[in-house]
Amino acid sequence: MATQTTEPASPARSTRPGGVRVALMFGLGTAALAAAVLLSLVMGARVTPPGEVIGALTGAGDEFTATVVESRYPRTVLGIMAGAALALAGTLMQGITRNPLADPGLLGVNAGAAAAVVTVTAVVGPTSVTGTVWAALPGAVLAGAAAYIVGTRGGEGGMVRLILAGAVISAVLNAYVQAVALSMPDSFDSYRYWVVGSLAGRGFDVFWAALPVILAGLLIALCVMGGLNGLALGRDAAVSLGVSTVWVQGGGLVAATLLAAGATAAVGPIAFVGLAVPHIVRAMVGVDFRLQVPFALVVGPTLLLVADVVGRTLLRPTELMVGVVTAFVGAPVLLYAIRRMRSTA
């Protein structure tokens, strides 16, 4: 008697929620993002009533209110861009490495950006915010490229070797940053401000400087996201399904590097957004990366903007930088992820 074999169900299919539920959750997520944007325009040293903000947006408000609201545009737009980039980079990294604790800094992107910033500061002196962006971008990209080249050279070791390469490069660059910064403490006020992570004090020039890099990363991410579902089944299963694992892994790592590099250069190394958002998204829509990617682009900005509003509110009239707030928010998520991994081990 012949035995009937059945193909194992893809996790993307077995846990995918219904279309109506997905549409409803995406609508709620979009509404939450719109509310976070409105809060970002309302809150500041002076609280502007929502009605006046809407009036300023439509051109019906007074000139003073319009000026106040316009001064909050750059940090809101930067929050949307950086939150989306970091969330998508984290989603890609966790999918490619199949490690729920992976984050965008895994390949040394943050350390590379910091090393470039301190090098430029040491050579030419303190730079403007835009100058910091132009300094950080190549450093972040080069560090990510170096980790990828070292980690994949020889073709053996897989993701473990790549992660180790990123850890080594991060350790070396962080040691370099500390050595240079400690030897020239008076020259690094701007670096100390940037390295915490903040949306304040930045204009649209920073946004336009980082946008091309982030758009390039987004485009590559959209091209590889379908293959991540096959990769989640394992390399051998993905190959048998016709997935080009080299393209998906390589393209995904390039996309994550570009996304993290652009966001880090613009607003500093903000922690935990790239780690926390993928867990939130998976709880909402399951493991299908075709759903995770668009949801990450909504949840990430929402989380970052809300954290920025909290930072502006807690210590008014002074501010708590958003990088500090996201660290407090992300720590419980990390502990939850670790406990969940132990319970399923």
For the chain, the average pLDDT equals 82
Query: pLDDT-derived band of residue 295, with 50, 70 and 90 as boundaries?
Result: very high
Predicted pLDDT of residue 227: 83
In what helix (H) or strand (E) does residue 9 lie, and over which residues does it extend? none
**For residues 195 and 139, which has the higher predicted lDDT (pLDDT)?**
139
How many Cα atoms are found within 13 Å in the side-chain-facing hemisphere of 200?
Answer: 17
Query: pLDDT-derived band of residue 9, with 50, 70 and 90 as boundaries?
Result: very low
Q: How many domains does the chain divide into?
A: 1
Answer whether residue 50 is part of any domain: no
Whether the predicted pLDDT of 18 surpasses 80: no
Answer whether residue 286 is part of any domain: yes
The CA distances from residue 237 to 171, 232, 246, 253, 328, in Å, are 35, 9, 14, 20, 39
Domain containing 192 equals: 80-344
Helix runs in the chain, H state only: 11-14, 19-42, 50-58, 63-71, 73-97, 109-124, 129-152, 158-183, 189-196, 204-231, 235-240, 245-267, 273-285, 289-314, 322-344
Percent of the chain with pLDDT over 90: 22
Whether the predicted pLDDT of 239 surpasses 80: no
Query: pLDDT-derived band of residue 294, with 50, 70 and 90 as boundaries?
Result: very high
Give, as one character, the DSSP assignment of residue 104: G
pLDDT in tens, 298-307: 999 999 999 9
Predicted pLDDT of residue 340: 65
CATH of the domain at 302: 1.10.3470.10
Answer whether residue 11 is part of any domain: no
Answer whether residue 24 is part of any domain: no
Nearest 5°: the CA angle 77, 78, 84 is 95
Query: pLDDT-derived band of residue 175, with 50, 70 and 90 as boundaries?
Result: very high
Predicted pLDDT of residue 89: 93
Answer whether residue 233 is part of any domain: yes
Query: pLDDT-derived band of residue 3, with 50, 70 and 90 as boundaries?
Result: very low
Answer whether residue 17 is part of any domain: no
Compute the distance between CA of residue 250 and CA of residue 288 in angstroms, rounded to an integer: 20
pTM of the model: 0.85
Answer whether residue 194 is part of any domain: yes
Predicted pLDDT of residue 298: 95
pLDDT in tens, 258-289: 999 999 989 988 888 888 899 889 888 888 88
Answer whether residue 116 is part of any domain: yes
The CA distances from residue 58 to 61, 62, 66, in Å, are 8, 11, 10
Instruction: DSSP for 174-202, please give it.
Output: HHHHHHHHHHSGGG-HHHHHHHH--STT-
